[in-house]
């Protein structure tokens, strides 16, 4: 492994020339999103995928690995030309890997959920800021057009004063995956609920309190029937996540209720946005407006990665600040029945 002095020296990578591809690597392949991130980095012309590092023995037999160079972790950390790293290992390893990448001067895309240690995540963000780096969280649906439009309607006041957010994602989980998820307190809320907690915090901010219910209604130790209620000064939010609905994909819902109307995204793939307004507001007329908006731009995860590359080039600021990411993760841990001090 590299010494602390070597890590600090590596942080001073030369700036990219105009039009130069962003050289990137993927560390870890055990995350459910790993294959999609590898495919995006392979296919987007703005990137050069230097290779994939698998430090924990996951199989590299999937077709996405064809033509991709295998790298040792030391090679990723020691190569100054690799500016961006997507950390895609199993969740229990990702904070440790992200810390190593930040110490080596890399911009990091850190997949969800970022561990169970909030102070450690806070330190990671502080370390990155001290080096002029960014750690971007890999929450899905931050860039889903229908979700973006619904949240815009809330933030711009077109829905009136927001009183409630209701959200759900249900899916059946294979037995082997249930065993993996059972390692984490919160189970399904931790695995899938994190995406929607992130969206709730985007609409309403940090909650005043969180009430968490985790039921284990299956035949194993997975918390597979979960509800979290987030209380605000003048609003409530409800996130329900379960592993018992075979047709759950068609029923995924994100709903924002305000005093002038409601914005609903359902389902998320080929997303349908419905607005029902008492009075016309913004670009929307009185009554019901329905629109089928595209799913996440192709390839999947491209908006996140392209934004992080632009941040690394100094062309823009991140869409989400550290304060938001920490508030979202604290809210998630509370929704998973963690006791958070302060």
Taking only the tens place, the pLDDT of each residue in 114-152 is: 999 999 999 999 999 999 999 999 998 999 999 999 999
Residue 69 is classified by DSSP as P
E-strand stretches of 88-158: 107-111, 135-138
- β 22-27/135-138 pair status: unpaired
User: Any idea which architecture 4-139+301-318 has in CATH?
Assistant: 3-Layer(aba) Sandwich (3.40)
Taking only the tens place, the pLDDT of each residue in 302-321 is: 999 999 999 999 999 999 99
Which part of the chain has CATH 3.30.360.10?
145-295
Give the three-class secondary structure for 151.
Answer: helix
| Tokens 């249900």 found at | 170
pLDDT (average), residues 231-260: 96
Taking only the tens place, the pLDDT of each residue in 15-41 is: 666 678 999 999 999 999 999 999 999
Q: Which helix (H) or strand (E) holds 121?
A: helix 118-130
Taking only the tens place, the pLDDT of each residue in 86-125 is: 999 999 999 999 999 999 999 999 999 999 999 999 999 9
Which part of the chain has CATH 3.40.50.720?
4-139+301-318
| Domain 145-295, CATH homologous superfamily name and number | Dihydrodipicolinate Reductase; domain 2 (3.30.360.10)
Assign residue 305 a region: left if phi > 0, alpha if psi is -120 to 50, beta otherwise? alpha
CA distances to 23, 25, 29 from 51, rounded to whole Å, are: 10, 5, 12
Q: pTM value?
A: 0.93
Tell me the β-bridge partners of 265: 254, 273
């Amino acid at each position: 492994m590299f010494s602390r002095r070597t890590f600090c020296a590596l942080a001073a990578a030369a700036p990219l020339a105009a039009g130069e591809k962003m050289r990137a690597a993927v560390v870890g392949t055990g995350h459910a999103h790993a294959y999609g991130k590898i495919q995006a980095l392979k296919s987007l012309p703005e990137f050069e995928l230097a290779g994939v590092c698998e430090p924990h023995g996951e199989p590299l037999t999937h077709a996405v690995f064809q033509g991709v160079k295998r790298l040792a972790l030391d090679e990723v950390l020691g190569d100054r030309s690799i500016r961006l790293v997507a950390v895609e290992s199993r969740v229990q390893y990702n904070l440790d890997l992200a810390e190593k990448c930040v110490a080596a001067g890399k911009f990091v895309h850190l997949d969800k959920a970022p561990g169970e240690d909030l102070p450690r995540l806070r330190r990671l963000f502080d370390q990155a800021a001290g080096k002029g780096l960014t750690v971007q969280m890999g929450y899905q649906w931050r860039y889903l057009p229908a979700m973006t439009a619904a949240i815009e309607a809330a933030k711009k006041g077109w829905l009136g004063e927001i009183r409630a957010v209701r959200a759900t994602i249900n899916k059946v989980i294979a037995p082997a995956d249930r065993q993996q998820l059972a390692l984490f307190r919160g189970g399904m809320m931790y695995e899938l609920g994190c995406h929607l907690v992130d969206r709730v915090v985007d609409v309403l901010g940090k909650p005043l309190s969180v009430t968490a219910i985790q039921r284990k209604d299956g035949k194993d130790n997975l918390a597979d029937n979960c509800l979290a209620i987030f209380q605000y000064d003048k609003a409530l939010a409800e996130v329900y996540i379960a592993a018992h609905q075979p047709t759950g994909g068609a029923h995924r819902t994100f709903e924002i209720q305000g005093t002038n109307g409601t914005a609903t995204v359902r389902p998320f793939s080929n997303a349908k946005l419905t607005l029902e307004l008492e009075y016309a507001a913004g670009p929307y007329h009185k009554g019901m407006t329905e629109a089928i908006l595209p799913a996440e731009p192709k390839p999947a995860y491209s908006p996140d990665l392209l934004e992080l590359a632009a941040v690394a080039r100094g062309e823009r600021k991140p869409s989400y600040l550290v304060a938001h990411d920490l508030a979202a993760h604290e809210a998630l841990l509370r929704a998973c029945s963690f006791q958070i001090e302060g």
